[in-house]
Each structure stands twice: as C-alpha cells, then as structure tokens.
Amino acid sequence: AAGVVIEAGMCALPSVASRVGGIPELIESGETGYLVDKDDDEGFINALKLLLEDVELNQRMGENAFKRARRLYSSRAHFQNVLDRLVAAASS
C-alpha cells in the first residue's frame, strides 16, 4: 500500500488511507491527503467526500503530494541519499 501512496503523489493525487504500518510516514494529513483510523469507515467516506466536492482542496493537496513525493522518492532523491550514506561511511 505504501507504493500506491507514493505513486499517487507522483501523479499529483492526494491519498486517503488508514493509519497502519508505514502509511502515516507517507501522508501529511490535511496537507497531502487524509489519514483515518483503521476501522473508521465514516471518517474515510468523509475524507473522500471532501476531496471530491472541493476541487481546489483536491488540487492543492495533489500538488503538495507531488512536491513531497518528488522531494523524498524521486530517483534523484534516492541517489542523493545513497551518495550521502557512502560519503558518511567513507568518512567514519
């Protein structure tokens, strides 16, 4: 499910997901989508309604999700992270 959240962000789409596993680390609730409790069906439906009914909110959160995904999960970010770790390992 984590990959789906990252892919949605790369497509400038906000996510609505449950607070399980590593998902809370991927979604900034209220900024890049919404996090709801695992068994909160009503909260999940309400979050989806908000995004479907408020086009500006949907677009803003989608843009935020894209910026976050690109910053944290793009190939460039990945290679920079690997390079930083290699430099740190070589320095110690």
Alpha-carbon distance of 49 to 19, in angstroms, equals 19
Is 2-91 a CATH 3.80.10.10 domain?
no
List pLDDT tens digits, range 44-68: 999 999 999 999 999 999 999 999 9
Question: What is the pLDDT confidence band of residue 81, given thresholds at 50, 70 and 90?
Answer: confident
Question: What is the pLDDT confidence band of residue 1, given thresholds at 50, 70 and 90?
Answer: confident
Question: At CA 12, angle to CA 9 and CA 16, rounded to 5?
Answer: 55
